[in-house]
Amino acid sequence: MRLEALARSALGEALGALGVPIPAEIPVDRPARPEHGDLSSRVAFLLARWVRKSPPELAAELAARLAGRPPFRSVQAEGGFVNFTLEPSALHEVLRAILADGGHYGRGEEGKGKTVQVEFVSSNPTGPLTIGHLRQAALGDVLASLYGELGWTCVREYYLNDEGRQMELLAQSLWARYRQALGHEEPIPEGGYHGDYLAEIGEELARTWGDAYPVWDGRAREAFRAEAVDRMMAMIHEDLEAIGVRFDVWTREGDLHRRGLVAQALERLRAAGAVYEKDGALWLASTRHGLSRDVVLVRSDGTPTYTMVDIAYHLEKHARGFDLVVDVQGADHVDEQRQVALALRLLGIREGFLRYCLHQFVTLKREEGVQRMSTRAGRFLRLKDLVAEVGRDVARYFMVMRKPESHLVFDFALARDTSMENPVYYVQYAHTRIASLFREAARAGELPDDPLRVDLSPLADPRELALVKELDRFPDVVQAAAHEFAPHLLCEYLENLSSLFHPYYAHVRVLGQGAATPARLALLAGVKLVLGRGLALLGVSAPEEM
């Protein structure tokens, strides 16, 4: 039961009794200031004109009609607002319901019988994953968890670009390293990959393969490309393992070609009249539909572009029957996204089938200053190494604690050495403290036999009621975080809940307080439950001891 619903239904009745038309959604907010009550509605501002009254007049009439109505202790008009203060017993019931839900609290039903695919990372296998990929890995993984929490069946997918020019360059770069290891002077190709990780593999191949590939020909290309992709994938798996991200499905670009899906997609676009020929290439007529430029789908040499394959891939996703597809991508993909979305629209695919979670880039701030990453130049911080330094929990949390569309500065020093004032630890510590308290309660024989039957009436302290009100928000936060692609809302919520708990704990004794003890333990069981659920959704551990 959301608390807002209590005020909504009361206001609905009062409006009906006054003969005022009832809006589809009666606005109810949580006031920032305690003197404005537990709940507040600005409905009078919306409807005053309708009934030719001023907002304060209408608000006063509504308040008069609702005065003394349970579960409200008071209903007051202030300005044009109608402010509600709840009876503590109403909050006690909220807490009881949360405890009764147990591990299911926060779960939703909206996704029942529906499937969502979240595609993320999808980094080209040209090197290990870096801190740049971390934001995407964390975001995608958390979004998938959030949708899972709302009842959706969720598929985490990685799209593997194992074809094309970048793979070619990677293979040739590796070959050059291999030749260098054999003592030949072979330069890294123009636009190739300079990272040390290829040098190591090159040396190893020189030992095992000897001088078997003296020239860069078709045979060498095949061998080195296969080897390079395998090696890169192994590294990527290690990095994903380090931050605890698992994919359900890996789709390879090469498979899309082999299954004829690219050709099929092209046929559909032709049939829809969405393409035209120019300069020997085939173009998507995007400007005709309001985009800023047309893009090439098939080059004049007959090979399909990345965009073409991307369209084919998304048609394939559609054919798989997902109700929703979420692509997590960086800000450099905006144009690409528009093009793919347009193509799907022209092919009659339902609006809303594909949604993009677009995120800005991460810059790394460390002692030497701010540095830009470049896999190609071999200048990057590998994900695995980052996790080794700051831990998986901090790495993940820091990546989702800002909204995706904000630039994110990863303060390395803060993440690593401030185990003192780090928000991750602050939240985890709240969980640990409660766990410790329950251990203590068990030792002292103060654990209630049946937590659901505890008398909650001793919970009267404003801090206790504030905690219950905050617990009541949790399902709304989960839902908003999922729908708006905004996991940072969950971080903010958990930090806020923790900042209500810590002072409470510091000032209110729980154990040895007679009838208050089981009531307070019940409250803290609720807090622990929600902290644990929230952290789990973020993929961050909720330790019993630290």
Phi, psi of 314 (to 5 degrees): -75, -30
- What token pair was written down for 59? 């608000």
Instruction: Give the sign of the dihedral formed by CA 251, CA 479, CA 139, CA 486.
Output: positive
In the block, residue with structure tokens 């608390």: 3
How far apart are the C-alpha atoms of 256 and 275, rounded to whole Å?
21
CB of 104 or CB of 165, closer to RNA: 165
Q: Taking CB under 7 A as the rule, does residue 423 contact RNA?
A: yes
Single out the residue of 192, 432, 516, 538 in contact with RNA (rule: CB under 7 A).
432
Per the DSSP assignment, residues forming a β-bridge with 304 are: 298
Per the DSSP assignment, residues forming a β-bridge with 358 are: 329
* Binding-site size, RNA (CB under 7 A): 88
Torsion angle of the four alpha carbons 438, 539, 357, 383, in this order, in degrees rounded to the nearest 10: 140
Q: Is 86 helix (H, G, I), strand (E, B) or coil?
A: strand
Q: Taking CB under 7 A as the rule, does residue 145 contact RNA?
A: no
Q: Taking CB under 7 A as the rule, does residue 203 contact RNA?
A: no
Single out the residue of 18, 22, 46, 285 in contact with RNA (rule: CB under 7 A).
46
User: Does residue 179 contact residue 186 with C-beta atoms inside 8 Å?
Assistant: yes
How far apart are the C-alpha atoms of 429 and 545, rounded to whole Å?
9
Shortest Å distance, C-beta 299 to RNA: 3
Query: What number of residues does the chain have?
Result: 546
Q: Is 497 helix (H, G, I), strand (E, B) or coil?
A: helix
Single out the residue of 305, 349, 353, 385 in contact with RNA (rule: CB under 7 A).
305
How far apart are the C-alpha atoms of 469 and 485, rounded to whole Å?
24
Shortest Å distance, C-beta 69 to RNA: 18
CB of 216 or CB of 306, closer to RNA: 306
CB of 177 or CB of 488, closer to RNA: 488
User: Does residue 400 contact residue 491 with C-beta atoms inside 8 Å?
Assistant: yes
User: Does residue 212 contact residue 205 with C-beta atoms inside 8 Å?
Assistant: no
Q: Taking CB under 7 A as the rule, does residue 440 contact RNA?
A: yes
Stretch that binds RNA, among 12-20, 210-218, 400-408, 454-462 (CB under 7 A): 400-408
Shortest Å distance, C-beta 50 to RNA: 12
Stretch that binds RNA, among 26-34, 150-158, 227-235, 373-381 (CB under 7 A): 26-34
**Interface of this chain with RNA, residues 401 to 420, rule: CB under 7 A:** 401-403, 405-409, 411, 414, 418-420
E runs forming strands in 181-280: 249-252, 275-278
Q: Taking CB under 7 A as the rule, does residue 479 contact RNA?
A: no
Stretch that binds RNA, among 178-186, 266-274, 294-302, 311-319 (CB under 7 A): 294-302
Stretch that binds RNA, among 95-103, 215-223, 233-241, 303-311 (CB under 7 A): 303-311
CB-CB neighbours of 80 under 10 Å = 19
Single out the residue of 4, 80, 313, 474 in contact with RNA (rule: CB under 7 A).
80
Shortest Å distance, C-beta 183 to RNA: 32
Shortest Å distance, C-beta 214 to RNA: 28
Q: Is the omega angle on the peptide bond into residue 71 within 30 degrees of 0, that is, cis?
A: yes
Single out the residue of 20, 91, 399, 486 in contact with RNA (rule: CB under 7 A).
486
Q: Taking CB under 7 A as the rule, does residue 433 contact RNA?
A: yes
Taking the chain, what is the end-to-end CA distance rounded to the nearest angstrom?
Answer: 34
E runs forming strands in 253-396: 275-278, 281-284, 295-298, 324-330, 354-359, 362-366, 369-371
Instruction: Give the sign of the dihedral formed by CA 411, CA 412, CA 414, CA 415.
Output: positive
Q: Taking CB under 7 A as the rule, does residue 166 contact RNA?
A: yes
Q: Is 381 helix (H, G, I), strand (E, B) or coil?
A: coil
**Interface of this chain with RNA, residues 312 to 371, rule: CB under 7 A:** 331-336, 358, 360-361
Q: Taking CB under 7 A as the rule, does residue 164 contact RNA?
A: yes
CB of 184 or CB of 278, closer to RNA: 278
Shortest Å distance, C-beta 462 to RNA: 12
CB of 104 or CB of 372, closer to RNA: 372
Q: Taking CB under 7 A as the rule, does residue 25 contact RNA?
A: no
Shortest Å distance, C-beta 495 to RNA: 6
CB of 181 or CB of 519, closer to RNA: 519
Single out the residue of 2, 104, 165, 259 in contact with RNA (rule: CB under 7 A).
165
